[in-house]
Structure 1
């Protein structure tokens, strides 16, 4: 009887929706390291921002190999504007990437954006909802970009300050790369305002053909540097064993909620399990949800005392 009471209390649906015993924290993972420049690009949007020169948003792009950033001011964040900005400011300069990672924003989930990627032969990867860590490279760049724009003498006119802010970020020394991102893209350091440096001799000039040969040789020796997950040392991994066998799960409600609203939604049936995500049927439709938002649902079963009769 004690076991039946324990199981009955454990399967209370209202209690499971309202209580948090311990959040699921899956082990950190990363994308496969690209083998060449501009092969894998991360895309995202910043905004809405205060209007500046008719712009209210910024399209951000990061090359996973070199960490080269682009930030394009946008008058709005609709799909046609985003597609045109990416085409003119990235593809026209660096070519078509093989892979493209975005979140599940409406601009990137639209039929037009999927059609755009299909026409250019781009493999479009989308992160799971409410899990910005999946696009962490561009999210970290957002922090740097916002801090730099706030530090300018006139942050309200951020669109006019953006080009010089990007110059600073591209030429800043990075310990993980042991160089600036501009060095990996251009094969040499960009010249910065001369008043910051002591004039130096540029050395003997090279024939353009010889310079191209040296540059190609240097790029052949390049090796990709995988991103360093800073949270590895402090992140406490926890995945409940029940989650690996549960037929149903609760999904954490991460969007803004009303006071006293349940913390979890569900329970929902599990259709497939993957190392970092589960496929869950929500109102009859399949949804891919990150493990970090899930909690095993304990469903009612016949009491053991009755089953033995």
Structure 2
């Protein structure tokens, strides 16, 4: 029953409860010679008395402000002993922390019921569940003494092979030196593992009950719920048990706090491999590059076309990036290499127009479009765009207005070089022969 009054300079102010118990502590008090069972409330800074248990002629000249659990504050009559009078108090007497000797009285009432093993197990309250666990143990009796810890080491089935590999016991060598690393020793009845950690030989305690140690190393406030790798590093420098790393990773993956607070990003969808095209110019990729610096002949854009079967590139300069200009250049190209079955483009305006749809419908060409803001679908053309722009930037460094005249020469250089994906030159795959280039003439 929180009854803390507002802060005031003339009255001491305390906050919080000193003891949290499932059964409220009570003590017997006498008022005017009549015995009453008083409730000891360490969360209250004032003592309260029900009005009905006092004589009717009790004078109350002052008021005592109290704050209830709901947050509302009200004033109740007070006597010279600074006890608040509450008409609807649930208990006859409530002793707060202002009562003389309250701490000794509370300790005498709560200490006899302190052993946890004599009380039945109950579901912890919400407030108790919120408190951080400072120390943890798998059993109430675990780790009471080194002798008990040694007994648990012997009883743990996971450590049987560790006991069988003991090299030194209480300073006596059971097997001749030198001892391999790691190896096991026994000191003061406890099993240790001697291992190398970052170039230094360390003696690590072998733990039979690893869950409590992992909880301290990971979930304790001083551990900070670090990741599995950091938790493993901290434990490996001090302890050892079989399967330490795997057990720590399972514990960290199942930690509810880490699951609620970890920044989880959805995994990307798996890549769908593009089909292998075997017929030249059966599928082509198409894209626009520009606007570029206007050339002397008025060209500002480049229509880039790459054959998926042979990697044979085409780059056609355009004055305007319109569907009509693109359609005219496509008919010129198709007159030389044939009409493709599929055309892969992005969702640019010239490629999404009704005129382009009519051209593809007339020629019975299937239009394939990439996902919005996902140019990786047409990665072959996108990568060629970078190569083309880089080569034009280098060959047209002196006069940037003649880049359109450099296109045929740049394309020939690309066509006669073997491609890493095919192992052949695009010219050879399309025409069936090696071109006679500048090196042959030289």
Which ranges of structure 2 fall in alignment gaps of 5 or more residues? 1-125, 127-262
Partner of 1:12: none
Report SS of the residue matched to 1:112: helix
Partner of 1:75: 319
Q: Of 180, 189, 206, which aligns to 2:434?
A: 189
- The 1:86/1:24 distance shift into structure 2, 3 A limit, reads farther
Q: Does 1:103 align with 2:346?
A: yes
Deviation at 1:35, TM superposition (A): 3.0
Length-normalised TM-score, structure 1: 0.55
Alignment of 1:229-244 (within 5 A): none
Q: How far apart are the structure 2 equivalents of 1:96 and 1:105?
A: 22
Q: Deviation string for 1:107-158 (max 9, x for gaps)?
A: 0100110010000000111111100001101001001101111111436121
Q: Does 1:169 align with 2:414?
A: yes
Q: Deviation string for 1:75-114 (max 9, x for gaps)?
A: 01011011111111x2111111001100000001001100
> Which stretch of the first structure deviates more once superposed, 30-39 or 44-53?
30-39
Partner of 1:148: 391
Partner of 2:119: none
Partner of 1:30: 273
Deviation at 1:176, TM superposition (A): 2.1
Partner of 1:211: none
Q: Does 1:133 align with 2:385?
A: no
Partner of 1:42: 285
- The 1:183/1:155 distance shift into structure 2, 3 A limit, reads farther
Alignment: residue pair count: 180
**Cα contact 1:42–1:100 (8 A) shared by 2:** yes
Q: Does 1:54 align with 2:298?
A: yes
Partner of 2:147: none
**Cα contact 1:102–1:127 (8 A) shared by 2:** yes
**Cα contact 1:101–1:127 (8 A) shared by 2:** yes
Q: Does 1:86 align with 2:325?
A: no
- The 1:191/1:126 distance shift into structure 2, 3 A limit, reads same
Report SS of the residue matched to 1:73: strand
- The 1:117/1:192 distance shift into structure 2, 3 A limit, reads same
Q: How far apart are the structure 1 equivalents of 2:361 and 2:320?
A: 24
Deviation at 1:33, TM superposition (A): 1.5
- The structure, 1 or 2, with the larger RCO (C-alpha pairs under 8 Å, 6+ apart) is 1
**Cα contact 1:56–1:73 (8 A) shared by 2:** yes
**Cα contact 1:149–1:155 (8 A) shared by 2:** no
Q: Deviation string for 1:159-194 (max 9, x for gaps)?
A: 01111000001011223212211000111111112x
Deviation at 1:38, TM superposition (A): 0.8
- The 1:28/1:133 distance shift into structure 2, 3 A limit, reads same
Q: How far apart are the structure 1 equivalents of 2:351 and 2:273?
A: 21
- The 1:151/1:95 distance shift into structure 2, 3 A limit, reads same
Q: How far apart are the structure 2 equivalents of 1:155 and 1:27?
A: 46
Which ranges of structure 1 fall in alignment gaps of 5 or more residues? 3-19, 200-309
Q: How far apart are the structure 1 equivalents of 2:440 and 2:423?
A: 20
Q: How far apart are the structure 2 equivalents of 1:155 and 1:31?
A: 40
Q: How far apart are the structure 1 equivalents of 2:383 and 2:272?
A: 16
Q: How far apart are the structure 1 equivalents of 2:411 and 2:320?
A: 21
Q: Deviation string for 1:220-265 (max 9, x for gaps)?
A: xxxxxxxxxxxxxxxxxxxxxxxxxxxxxxxxxxxxxxxxxxxxxx
Q: Does 1:118 align with 2:361?
A: yes
- The 1:54/1:25 distance shift into structure 2, 3 A limit, reads same
Q: Of 156, 160, 181, which aligns to 2:405?
A: 160
